[in-house]
Chains A and B, each alone.
Chain A
């Protein structure tokens, strides 16, 4: 286990007009580890991912990659650093085959002509390195693949480019039990191959099955960054829904009045 994070975000602020979506968010991604990013709907997970991948620019804060402070202003910058994102809708083209999809937009060429043998070979090697054996042929159309196989292709596409950090947005959300297990196994293998993996998930079982660390976001703030082994299921759920759980998490909100809120919690209901 590496002591220094591969990717480290500190003090990230992001606003859309008057709405501040991220407040002072921090996130550390270690090589060889799966970092689960959890949080309720609207907690800022997607915004944070888009900041990392360069789709949004951050308003304040620092991004450190491999010990150097970097500026990620476009998806191209992120790709150059080796940060790849697998979005929930996968963005695969059904009418193209596996190899064509994996190299889409970054085709290998010899002069004007596509270098199909090289691409097919590289695609085969990448899938083999991930121990994927479930596809019949690399020239199968993506349309004919199952949900889990598509997810596999999308992940393989992300790791094809010597990427260092792979961010997976709810990779198991649409999958059945067996396929979820396959994909989680693949996620674990990515980390075992030395990559820093960020797994966004709503499913606590998945989070506890594969992650080494958990980062919980609550209303745009980092509620906690903890080791998975140090917390329980219910603690994580509390972090997601309330922002704190016992001694970990955000400090309790200031008493009513200070922020203009009235405490409507029935006496004795809160911990």
Chain B
């Protein structure tokens, strides 16, 4: 049934220009397909406001601090994106991260495990937690809100039991401590940045070539080059700032280079973006989130997909817990508690992941996490109390959720959804 008669019978092919590409993009935005655009704009505005109000906001030290401050929330949010893509929620992610962090810390402190066995143990704990949650949601059909609310309470209890009522377990293992507290040497910072730009450029050019060979429509070269140049400028400026000396007394100790968490975030981001965008598994996640019945009829194992997103969610929570433990140098009964979960859900939603399922990218978690880290950091610099910070963050989250809801309404009005 694929008998093409002549090339003019092909679907109308119009070679897009830079102008038409931008026009199409604007059309999609107006049609309600806005992605993380509001978050990016918001991030720029927030940075400018804080930078003008408190010039130290733009100092290299403060910029470097943003990474470890936002990292744990970003990792948890990346996992939540998968859960949210199915229109589910994981309220237990915060305390799951605390439990996993505690497992790692206790194994190292009380049982003498080294980091290369304790970290996998924490990650496996995350996988097991996710499997249990996913199984209850997918196979028993309990709403994820209830399952993970129960998890939220139970994991808080497990954390207390593990820490025998409330002791604080400190971490001495240097590898674990370096994860959130040390920097990549300046030379390697530059090398990593250049490798990243080169790899991105390579992937982009390869994609254009592969499509051009088949006679398919390709993005205009101007847009491709602009994307690569944009990434290059961003990364190189960031590295240039971060490789400046940040120590108050450089003679005693030198502090410079990109924080180690930054490349970890980048690698995890690339891996999950690849999984979601370029594998059949990722495609099936979107399909189940968009039309569960349609996905089932297409032969997609819906239950397995549902379980798997919870596994990914809790696995990422485990990574977040490890990073949080590293940053705090310890684990205590409130690790992963207080605002961690809400910040993580907020990060995913602020970044543009829909609470209604089917729409979102892993990148949303990073950009949304950056917004939250900037608010936290900037308002702290301006001397606002925690109360004001919470109120402001809550308002931003509300704003993001309204943007999501309004863009959906807009999309359905323009026939875009």
Check A175 for interface membership: any CB of B closer than 8 A. Answer: no
List the A side residues contacting B358 at CB < 8 Å. Answer: 93-95
Q: A138–B2 contact, CB under 8 A?
A: no
Q: A121–B279 contact, CB under 8 A?
A: no
Q: A143–B3 contact, CB under 8 A?
A: no
Check B383 for interface membership: any CB of A closer than 8 A. Answer: no
Check A120 for interface membership: any CB of B closer than 8 A. Answer: yes
Q: How far is the CB of A86 from chain B (nearest CB, A)?
A: 11
List the B side residues contacting A77 at CB < 8 Å. Answer: none
Q: A109–B3 contact, CB under 8 A?
A: no
Q: How far is the CB of A58 from chain B (nearest CB, A)?
A: 20
Question: Which of A10-18, A60-68, A122-130, A241-249 contacts the other chain?
Answer: A122-130
Known A93-B295, A96-B290; contact A137-B217, beta-carbon cutoff 8 A:
yes
Check A92 for interface membership: any CB of B closer than 8 A. Answer: yes
* A interface footprint on B254-296 (CB within 8 Å = 1, 0 otherwise): 0000000000000000000000001110011011011101110
CB within 8 A of A122: which of B2, B280, B298? B2
A100-118 contacts to B (CB < 8 Å): 100, 104-107, 109, 112-114, 117-118
Q: A160–B298 contact, CB under 8 A?
A: no
B203-234 contacts to A (CB < 8 Å): 210-211, 213-217
List the A side residues contacting B300 at CB < 8 Å. Answer: 104-105
Q: B280–A117 contact, CB under 8 A?
A: no
Check B415 for interface membership: any CB of A closer than 8 A. Answer: yes
The majority secondary structure among interface residues of chain B is loop
* B interface footprint on A136-169 (CB within 8 Å = 1, 0 otherwise): 1111010111100000000000011111000000
List the B side residues contacting A159 at CB < 8 Å. Answer: 1
List the B side residues contacting A94 at CB < 8 Å. Answer: 290-291, 358, 417
Known A109-B280, A125-B2; contact A143-B216, beta-carbon cutoff 8 A:
no
Residue of A nearest to B215 (CB): A121
B295-333 contacts to A (CB < 8 Å): 295, 297-300
Q: A126–B283 contact, CB under 8 A?
A: no
Q: How far is the CA of A76 from the CA of B213 in the complex (A)?
A: 35
Contact size class for B? 35 or more
CB within 8 A of A91: which of B10, B210, B291, B411? B291
List the A side residues contacting B414 at CB < 8 Å. Answer: 144
B31-64 contacts to A (CB < 8 Å): 31, 33
* A interface footprint on B99-141 (CB within 8 Å = 1, 0 otherwise): 0000000000000000000000000000000000000000000
CB within 8 A of B411: which of A136, A143, A193? A143
Check A133 for interface membership: any CB of B closer than 8 A. Answer: yes
Check B416 for interface membership: any CB of A closer than 8 A. Answer: yes
Q: B299–A121 contact, CB under 8 A?
A: no
Q: How far is the CB of A113 from chain B (nearest CB, A)?
A: 5
Q: A91–B283 contact, CB under 8 A?
A: no
Check B9 for interface membership: any CB of A closer than 8 A. Answer: yes
Q: How far is the CB of B8 from chain A (nearest CB, A)?
A: 9
List the B side residues contacting A162 at CB < 8 Å. Answer: 1-2
Known A143-B415, A143-B416; contact A120-B216, beta-carbon cutoff 8 A:
yes
Q: How far is the CA of A121 from the CA of B211 in the complex (A)?
A: 10
Check A87 for interface membership: any CB of B closer than 8 A. Answer: yes
Check A81 for interface membership: any CB of B closer than 8 A. Answer: no
Check B361 for interface membership: any CB of A closer than 8 A. Answer: no
Chain A interface residues (CB < 8 Å from chain B) = 75-76, 87, 89-96, 100, 104-107, 109, 112-114, 117-118, 120-122, 124-129, 131-133, 135-139, 141, 143-146, 159-163, 193, 195
* CB pairs A–B below 8 angstroms (15 shown): A89-B293, A91-B291, A93-B287, A93-B358, A95-B290, A96-B283, A105-B287, A105-B300, A117-B210, A120-B214, A125-B2, A133-B12, A141-B33, A145-B415, A193-B3
Chain B interface residues (CB < 8 Å from chain A) = 1-5, 9-12, 31, 33, 210-211, 213-217, 278-280, 283-284, 286-287, 289-291, 293-295, 297-300, 358-359, 411, 414-417
Counting from the closest, the 8 A-B pairs by CB-CB distance are: A105-B298, A91-B294, A93-B290, A95-B290, A95-B358, A105-B299, A143-B417, A104-B298
